[in-house]
Structure 1
């Protein structure tokens, strides 16, 4: 009967795993128990963001040294979901998820992982990617022992992209292909959970009213397959941890942000009291600039700025809102929320101790 542990660790630079090394050295976590990593690096979050691959390489080198396992084998079983861009108040950090198979209980927060087969550029944003992600979600649920889709709190996916898509790709612009990859992965999760029961590749980026409130997707050229992490309630897992999830209607939806913290058993009116901040183990937020060009009737300029990418605007703005509620800049805020919450909105997930 397993037990899930979550550690939120700081990063002094994109290759810094010293905080994890310290945990391993003092016996606070066993390297072989590490199942997934979700983190924010300080790059630009774009196609040429080397910080994500740099961190992944450094992490896998550490785990290979500690476990004696092959680098490729580790990378093939440990999802490393990284989002570049720590604009404004955001602080580089990563969430480490470890599973102790010797401990457990009646029912608690469970984690499961799975990888799809490699997804070449010509399959990105197509029905084949949607179905591959859906199957990986089902596999991850089985890995966690989550019996019902209703018991899933959040699915985090790192989806592939291609810097040089080639003639067979659905889009020649790598940035559009990255968005299509996120959208297809969101549809795949929604299909597996029953949140998006219909719609295929023709609906991607078009029918924004098809979405799931339980999915967070990042995309990048540093991965070749869809890497899936599922969180939810399952029998046999130790109690004591909670994942509170709530949608955001738009970028200014402070009540929606607070609702996620309250769903995790925390007071947020709107900020989490200082006495409760130690219970917060990690925060994940997804958002996007409203494609209509306005928020609550007021025009925004995020999509038309030729000096600063729209996602950097988004991360800086949403990061300030979420971090002010959490009372901590170590929050995972990622742009590109296609089909991951209401159009122009997104979602927030809070991991906390009971």
Structure 2
């Protein structure tokens, strides 16, 4: 049966692998069983945040040596920006065994954490933020669900997607081919890519109707969204990396995951409700999406996140949501990603919690 584990390791810098090395020596995880690493790096989280690529380079070097070449398929999802109290760290996700519908476990037994991974093909610049990206992500999410041995969309509680963005070089190359782009603003391209990826996840899980989705709905129709998608854009990749977190009877072990939906950036009650649901269990990690309400208000009060020309609104939102969830969960070393286009309701976003049964 599949057995998955989640541990988080502090990082003194994007290239700091000392914590991972110590964890391997202590037997906390086996490098050859790692399928994904989620990271919070201390850059600006914007187009020129090279701490993400720096961390990926360091992680690939670490696992190439630690796993003796057996780590080529690890998915690395680095989310830049640790504003406020958010603490830089890596979340290491391991998986052993293989789940499936015919796994030998009683239907009355508890479902345990199951992880699935997949990748899309590489995208051309003109495909980002458009339906080809939506469809490719939908296919990848569906494959990741199967890879996790999850048989019902109701058992999927978080879908983390790392997606590409447009750079000035790519825009110039597209001009040379005389093709149109969704935008020529590199920062805005992050939002379009995140939004298209989230809609793809929603289609795969039955939350968004592909038959009625139009290309112009991307980043305009906020009524179409996924309640479990969390997408993060970066310049360090050209495809989408997909990691599905859920529960399955085909998985074993003490870990499991659940999720709620924050209605706005200060909705700490969403996480508190998850904690109340599992009293006495250890909270291992919090995974969340942060967004600034596009109407410019939170609970009827005006905010200036969208009007600040010095600090991007995604950075404001990460600081707010990170502070709220760190208070509720009692730990600032959590994964909070900014930019919530089509990820939860307008101004809100999904929050998932990984628990360990005692």
TM-score normalised according to structure 2 size: 0.90
Instruction: Give the Cα–Cα distance (whole angstroms) in 1 for the partners of residues 303 and 122 of structure 2.
Output: 38
Matches within 5 A, 1:243-258: 243-258=257-272
Cα-Cα RMSD: 1.8
**Aligned position for 1:116:** 120
**Aligned position for 1:141:** 145
1:259 deviation in Å?
A: 2.2
Matches within 5 A, 1:72-221: 74=72, 77-101=73-97, 106=105, 107-164=111-168, 165-166=170-171, 167=175, 168=179, 169-198=181-210, 199-221=213-235
- Within the alignment, does 1:2 sit opposite 2:14 as a pair? no
Instruction: Give the Cα–Cα distance (whole angstroms) in 1 for the partners of residues 273 and 214 of structure 2.
Output: 31
Residues 243-282 of structure 1: CA distance to partner in whole angstroms, max 9, x if unpaired?
A: 120001111222223223335x147xxxxxxxx6xx1211
- Do 1:8 and 1:282's aligned partners in 2 also have CA atoms closer than 8 Å? yes
Cα 1:253–1:332 shift into 2, 3 Å: same
1:68 deviation in Å?
A: 2.9
Instruction: Give the Cα–Cα distance (whole angstroms) in 1 for the partners of residues 340 and 346 of structure 2.
Output: 8
1:235 deviation in Å?
A: 2.8
TM-score normalised according to structure 1 size: 0.91
Cα 1:338–1:102 shift into 2, 3 Å: closer
- Do 2:314 and 2:338's aligned partners in 1 also have CA atoms closer than 8 Å? yes
Matches within 5 A, 1:21-32: 21-32=21-32
- Do 1:244 and 1:262's aligned partners in 2 also have CA atoms closer than 8 Å? no
Instruction: Give the Cα–Cα distance (whole angstroms) in 1 for the partners of residues 146 and 242 of structure 2.
Output: 12
1:133 deviation in Å?
A: 0.3
Which of 281, 294, 301 matches 2:284? Answer: 281
- Do 2:247 and 2:257's aligned partners in 1 also have CA atoms closer than 8 Å? no
3-state SS of the aligned residue for 1:229? strand
Residues 157-212 of structure 1: CA distance to partner in whole angstroms, max 9, x if unpaired?
A: 00111212423321100111110100000010000000011413210111001111
Specify every segment of 5 or more residues in structure 2 that has no aligned partner in the other structure, as ranges: 106-110
Specify every segment of 5 or more residues in structure 1 that has no aligned partner in the other structure, as ranges: 268-275
The range that moved more, 287-296 or 233-242, is: 233-242
Instruction: Give the Cα–Cα distance (whole angstroms) in 2 for the partners of residues 102 and 340 of structure 1.
Output: 29
Instruction: Give the Cα–Cα distance (whole angstroms) in 1 for the partners of residues 98 and 183 of structure 2.
Output: 47
Which of 310, 319, 324 matches 1:321? Answer: 324
**Aligned position for 1:335:** 338
Residues 202-253 of structure 1: CA distance to partner in whole angstroms, max 9, x if unpaired?
A: 1011100111111111111111111000111223211421212000111122
Cα 1:18–1:345 shift into 2, 3 Å: same
- Do 2:5 and 2:94's aligned partners in 1 also have CA atoms closer than 8 Å? yes
Q: Which runs of 4+ in 1 moved over 6 A?
A: 102-105
